[in-house]
Structure 1
Amino acid sequence: MDDDASRALTRYDAIGGQPVSEAAAGAILTIELGAIRENYRRLKARLNGVRCAGVLKADGYGLGAAQVASALAKEGCDIFFVALLGEGIALRKAIGPGPDIFVLNGLPPGSEPEALAAGLCPVINSPVQLKAWRGTARDAARNLPAAIQVDSGMARLGMAPADVEALAGEAGAFNGIDVRFVMSHLARADEPQQAANEEQRREFERLRKMLPAAPASLANSSGIFLGPEYHHELARPGAALYGVNPTPYAPNPMLPAIRLDAKVAQTREIGAGTGIGYGHTNRADRPLRLATISLGYGDGWHRRAASAAWFEGVRLPFVGRVSMDSIILDISALPAGRLGEGDLVELIGPSQSVDDAAGHAGTIGYEILTSLGARFHRRYTGG
């Protein structure tokens, strides 16, 4: 991405193809690319020389795959993973030739020519996908790159052990395939005490010995913290890059990568007994001062997510239900007149993290990040 395009993307986000300026948006999402770069450096330091990819699926966990890829490339990252072919095609257009882009879910039947044209590497998860890519290589009259994924005990993606064993005895099974990596995925890496981690590691070692010799990749974000025996030749962090805690059993070793601030749309004073919001689920037990902010579940803010905003270190609790486009705050703890229309209050930032917000919603930081909506103005810093 050239500098002019990068600067344009720091100023606007697109809604239906139309730019949204900071002045026009109801909330501001600040993405700290400098923090993402530092998180990559911290993970690299733990890997002690092992190569480190960047996982950019779901548009860089909702933060902008192109912008994140550009930032990580400045740290020497030249391998990226996306989930879907469409994501890979879009990322290739954004970042140009050079870095390897692997498609984790593999290629839908019939889409192999599109992947080839975009210079993408499929992650082959089944004998069907293998056969199709082998045929594409034959038609192209050259070897084509791919990763081979095996299911070591998650039952999600990857070749089943029986498939691997069958392929091991099949002559020419990998003809035309340049196997870049053999990989698998850990199901319980964020629970280091679980025996399932070691069971999966051992099964992975068993299965990959039956496949063409190639560098191995097993560790996701949390897997990096399980120790060197899980690192192999390539680690694939995702959420940790974006500030989600990869060690939920311990303090977060990553820097926060986002801040979300919403604008105050209106303030008011109400008397005791006044019903607040849909269904009057809250009724004032005393005179209150309220502020309505321009953010709601239409922006991906879960109705059960963090139940307060913050302003100058003061907690402002939600009152009433979260609406599609707005949330009502009790601002009685602030001096009268201190908060007015257009002022910003913090939803995610120094006062409450992505993981804090997720805890209130009974979910995980991954879901909070990937739910953040398109109506925000997105401000990129530190790239």
Structure 2
Amino acid sequence: MSRSRRRPGRCRNPNWFGQMAVQLDLGLHRLGFGMEELDHLISDPQWCAEMVPDLMLAHLPSGNDRLSQRNVADRDRFLKMTAQLSGFRKSVAASSGIFLGAEFHFDVVRPGSALFGINPMRGSANPMLPVVTLESRIIQRRHLKAGTRFGYDRSFTAEQDMLVGIVSFGAMDGVLFSPRPGQKISVFLDTHTAPVIGSGGSDTLFVDLSDVPDRACREGQIVSLINHQHDLETCAFEHGITEYELLARLGSRLPRKTCPIVLPPCIGKQGAINTRDQTSR
């Protein structure tokens, strides 16, 4: 039995008076009704009488590529599919679709990953401001002599006397901040940087504090792993994953804190209003 044959029976509830959205499939083949399934759904008089949708939505498979001609074709396909019904709102633009232009906005846009500062347009300058920070603290410091080997399998050797900080963040928090061969990853302490060294553990990582002033790297000092200097895109690249995957990996052990955003001087009230207008249609 097709999805469209099953769906009305699942939705029918005499105690439910909410609004309903119908998702259409434009080629992702993930969720939603295709053209034939939608035709079958509309031909069901009981469905048409009981399940009038408030919103028809779809997702653009190539939305993050603004140069792709498939976006226009997919938009036209969406219009053709939705032309069979009336009295509902339309939505086809998620984060990437918003930046394809007003002809993709329709009645509702659905910004998702862009709200976290992720670049919605592949290969283009990021129009979003960085808004995500990831912070922890130094929980212990160790003075190590040159030649000391440490970490799992004692895989790292101190080439000189060094001050090592133990930061409370590890694989159990979602991301293993461990540099790959030939690559460096740093954390930030105020205006100073400290390279990550050795092999990270489930709850801790090692950072080299040798070049950081003592006042900036005491036990309890806040360490930034993601900030405006070392943003999601940079951090994701260092780990060989996408920004979306990086965000999704950050575990439930991490407390979330929402802070008000202070726009930089170059973005005044008018700019903020224009941005809001573009994403509210």
Q: What's the TM-score, normalizing by structure 1?
A: 0.61
Structure 1 residues 338 and 145, CA gap change in structure 2 (3 angstroms): closer
2:207 pairs with 329, 335, 357, which one? Answer: 329
C-alpha deviation, 1:178, in angstroms: 3.4
Are 2:248 and 1:370 aligned? Answer: yes
| 8 A contact 2:176–2:201 mirrored in 1 | no
* Match in the other structure for 2:96: 222
C-alpha deviation, 1:196, in angstroms: 2.8
2:21 pairs with 116, 131, 147, which one? Answer: 147
| 8 A contact 1:164–1:210 mirrored in 2 | no
C-alpha deviation, 1:318, in angstroms: 0.9
Higher relative contact order (CA 8 A, sep 6+): 1
Are 2:192 and 1:314 aligned? Answer: yes
* Match in the other structure for 1:180: 54
Decide which structure has the larger Cα Rg and report it.
2
| 8 A contact 1:244–1:254 mirrored in 2 | yes
C-alpha deviation, 1:328, in angstroms: 0.1
Post-superposition CA distance 1:221-276 (Å, at most 9, x none):
11100111111111011111122222342332222223222110111122232223
What is the root-mean-square deviation of aligned Cα atoms in Å? 2.3
Post-superposition CA distance 1:262-318 (Å, at most 9, x none):
110111122232223112332222222211101111112244688221113222111
1:1-383 counterparts in 2 under 5 A?
Answer: 126-133=4-11, 135-136=12-13, 139-140=14-15, 144-303=18-177, 307-336=185-214, 338-382=216-260
Structure 1 residues 374 and 346, CA gap change in structure 2 (3 angstroms): same
CA distance in 2, matches of 1:201, 1:363: 30
| 8 A contact 2:177–2:196 mirrored in 1 | no
| 8 A contact 1:313–1:351 mirrored in 2 | no
Q: Secondary structure at the match of 2:258?
A: strand
| 8 A contact 2:4–2:40 mirrored in 1 | no
| 8 A contact 1:144–1:178 mirrored in 2 | no
| 8 A contact 1:143–1:178 mirrored in 2 | no
Q: Secondary structure at the match of 1:379?
A: coil
Q: Secondary structure at the match of 1:178?
A: coil
Structure 1 residues 247 and 344, CA gap change in structure 2 (3 angstroms): same
Post-superposition CA distance 1:118-170 (Å, at most 9, x none):
xxxxxxx744223321x21xx34x76420111101111110122201222333
| 8 A contact 1:179–1:212 mirrored in 2 | no
| 8 A contact 2:93–2:110 mirrored in 1 | yes
| 8 A contact 2:54–2:87 mirrored in 1 | no
| 8 A contact 2:178–2:197 mirrored in 1 | no
Structure 1 residues 304 and 158, CA gap change in structure 2 (3 angstroms): farther
Q: Which runs of 5+ in 1 are unaligned?
A: 1-124
Q: Secondary structure at the match of 2:257?
A: strand
Structure 1 residues 182 and 299, CA gap change in structure 2 (3 angstroms): same
CA distance in 2, matches of 1:378, 1:214: 36
| 8 A contact 1:185–1:218 mirrored in 2 | yes
CA distance in 1, matches of 2:255, 2:28: 38
Q: Secondary structure at the match of 1:261?
A: strand
CA distance in 2, matches of 1:145, 1:189: 27
Percent identity between matched residues is 28
Post-superposition CA distance 1:321-354 (Å, at most 9, x none):
1211000001122135641111111111122112
